[in-house]
């Protein structure tokens, strides 16, 4: 059993957690949503300054809540990629400094790997192989989790990520950032069949049909823009917001579900773990669960607080790597992007 303290600061949540293998001992999340809301999205410079303000209080609170001392911590981890570079630097510098001062090993963690590990925190018996449907503000991917730390990215979005589509469509509807939670709430009152929208299929070259696992959400966003403009011309500003939210959300849920189930069946997998902020979406949770049932597939959704960014999922990934004797050199830097298949580059594997 190993105990890891992790720092997550890749976007607009400063988070510090302490995890013992797959068990959360503390998980402090300082969200910056209120700060960025007034700008309609994350302002990178403000995000890094806010991380700087919040990281030390979060570290103190994580230790206090866990009732542990530095002697009880086996290693320190930090998210090193992907994310906003200025924000990543703040968290990683804090984590590396703690590792040096307390003479502990350091592990740099890939943020998307963290989203995969969020499922283990909720279902400690989950083991690879399984399919991960990773749907966040910056990524939409289907990842074949073959073994611990061994991934194959089998499908992605060609343009906007699913969460980004929620955020952009919310903006078109005059709704606040982040768009996902408010669209989800309004959709509950609407008719999901009210408007027919394009699902965003990606063509294969030479008229060979459509890519089975890739998706595209920019066409759906444009269709929403056209529909909103037309409805405004016909009826003024009195938009059927709930129906628009429900129809948009159902279209996204259908697109993601279809690809995830197809991939699972093609790869002979029986389990789908969903991760990332959009995994919190009630329409996706309902539709995917219902369709997976038809094929006898098991679906794992983390609880809502572990869907969006948090350091517990980062610490959980770090525990697994630490137990396999993976360590990062302190010279490992932060990068805005890295393919999840290449995570071994972050470690001196012994
Ligand atoms: O994973 P996350 O916290 O940050 C990234 O790593 O990107 O995901 C944030 C995204 C935002 O785009 C937000 O609108 C979306 O997750 N989101 C949702 C819901 N809650 C958050 N999207 C749809 N339905 C929700 N309930
Ligand atoms: Zn995330």
Residue of 180, 256, 276, 305 to test ligand 1 pocket, by largest number of atoms within 8 Å of CB = 180
- The string over 96-124, giving b where at least 16 C-beta atoms fall within 10 Å of a residue's C-beta and e elsewhere, is bebbeeeebbbbbbbbbbbbbbbbbbbbe
Calpha distance 228→223 (Å, rounded): 9
Determine the distance separating the centroid of ligand 1 and the alpha carbon of 177, expressed in angstroms.
10
Q: Any idea which of 6-15, 16-25, 200-209, 320-329 has the lowest mean pLDDT?
A: 200-209
pLDDT exceeds cutoff 90 at 237: no
Q: Starting from the CA of residue 139, give the closest ligand.
A: 1
Q: Which secondary-structure segment (H or E) carries 82?
A: none
Closest ligand 1 atom, residue 164 Cα: 12
Give residue 281's pLDDT. 98
Per the structure block, which two tokens stand in for 291?
């369709």
Q: Is 178 in the pocket of ligand 1 (CB under 6 A)?
A: yes
Q: Is 179 in the pocket of ligand 1 (CB under 6 A)?
A: yes
* 236 band by pLDDT with thresholds 50, 70 and 90: confident
* 1 band by pLDDT with thresholds 50, 70 and 90: confident
* Residue nearest ligand 1's atom 14 by CA: 180
Q: Is 163 in the pocket of ligand 1 (CB under 6 A)?
A: yes
320 within 8 A of 294, measured Cβ to Cβ = no
Calpha distance 291→295 (Å, rounded): 7
**What is the percent of the chain where pLDDT is above 90?**
93
Q: Starting from the CA of residue 301, give the closest ligand.
A: 1
> Is the pTM for the entire model greater than 0.75?
yes
* 207 band by pLDDT with thresholds 50, 70 and 90: confident
Give residue 40's pLDDT. 87
Determine the distance separating the centroid of ligand 2 and the alpha carbon of 187, expressed in angstroms.
23
* Residue nearest ligand 1's atom 22 by CA: 180
pLDDT exceeds cutoff 80 at 349: no
Question: Which residues place a Cβ less than 5 A from the ion ligand 2?
Answer: 136, 309
65 within 8 A of 26, measured Cβ to Cβ = yes
Per the structure block, which two tokens stand in for 74?
């086996």
* 206 band by pLDDT with thresholds 50, 70 and 90: confident
Q: Starting from the CA of residue 279, give the closest ligand.
A: 1
* Residue nearest ligand 1's atom 18 by CA: 180
Q: Is 302 in the pocket of ligand 1 (CB under 6 A)?
A: no
Q: Is 170 in the pocket of ligand 1 (CB under 6 A)?
A: no
pLDDT exceeds cutoff 80 at 297: yes
Whether the ω angle into residue 306 lies within 30 degrees of 0, i.e. cis, is no
**What is the percent of the chain where pLDDT is above 70?**
100
* 130 band by pLDDT with thresholds 50, 70 and 90: very high
Give residue 150's pLDDT. 97
Residue of 141, 163, 245, 313 to test ligand 1 pocket, by largest number of atoms within 8 Å of CB = 163
Closest ligand 1 atom, residue 178 Cα: 14
Over residues 44-81, the pLDDT tens digits come to: 999 999 999 999 999 999 999 999 999 999 999 999 99
Cβ-based neighbours of 337, under 8 Å, separated by 6 or more: 81, 82
Q: Is 283 in the pocket of ligand 1 (CB under 6 A)?
A: no
Closest ligand 1 atom, residue 161 Cα: 12
Q: Tell me phi and psi for residue 87, to 5 degrees.
A: -70, -45
Over residues 145-191, the pLDDT tens digits come to: 999 999 999 999 999 999 999 999 999 999 999 999 999 999 999 99
pLDDT exceeds cutoff 80 at 350: no
Cβ-based neighbours of 221, under 8 Å, separated by 6 or more: 160, 165, 168, 169, 172
């Amino acid at each position: 059993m190993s105990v890891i303290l992790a720092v997550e600061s890749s976007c607009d949540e400063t988070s510090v957690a302490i995890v013992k293998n797959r068990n959360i001992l503390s998980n402090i999340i300082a969200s910056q949503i209120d700060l960025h809301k007034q700008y309609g999205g994350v302002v990178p410079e403000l995000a890094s300054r806010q991380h700087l303000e919040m990281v030390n209080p979060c570290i103190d609170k994580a230790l206090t809540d866990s009732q542990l001392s530095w002697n009880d911590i086996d290693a320190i981890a930090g998210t090193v990629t992907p994310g906003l570079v200025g924000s990543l630097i703040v968290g990683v510098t804090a984590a590396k400094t703690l590792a040096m001062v307390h003479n502990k090993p350091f592990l740099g963690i890939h943020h998307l790997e963290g989203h995969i590990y969020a499922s283990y925190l909720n279902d400690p018996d989950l083991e690879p192989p399984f399919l991960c449907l990773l749907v966040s503000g910056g990524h939409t991917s289907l990842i074949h989790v073959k073994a611990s730390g061994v991934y194959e990215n089998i499908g992605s979005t060609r343009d906007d990520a699913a969460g980004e589509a929620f955020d952009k469509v919310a903006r078109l509807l005059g709704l606040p950032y982040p768009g996902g939670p408010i669209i989800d709430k309004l959709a509950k009152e609407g008719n999901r069949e009210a408007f027919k929208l394009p699902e965003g299929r990606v063509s294969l070259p030479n008229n060979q049909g459509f890519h089975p696992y890739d998706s595209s959400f920019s066409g759906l966003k444009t269709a929403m823009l056209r529909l909103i403009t037309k409805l405004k011309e016909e009826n003024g500003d009195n938009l059927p917001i709930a129906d628009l939210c429900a129809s948009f959300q159902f279209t996204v849920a259908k697109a993601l579900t279809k690809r995830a189930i197809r991939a699972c069946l093609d790869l002979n997998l029986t389990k789908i773990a969903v991760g990332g902020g959009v995994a919190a979406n009630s329409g996706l949770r309902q539709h995917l669960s219902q369709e997976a049932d038809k094929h006898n597939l098991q679906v794992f959704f983390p609880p809502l607080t572990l869907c969006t960014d948090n350091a517990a999922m980062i610490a959980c990934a770090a525990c697994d790597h630490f137990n396999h004797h993976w360590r990062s050199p302190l010279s490992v830097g932060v990068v805005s992007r890295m393919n999840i298949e290449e995570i071994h580059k972050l470690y001196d594997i012994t």
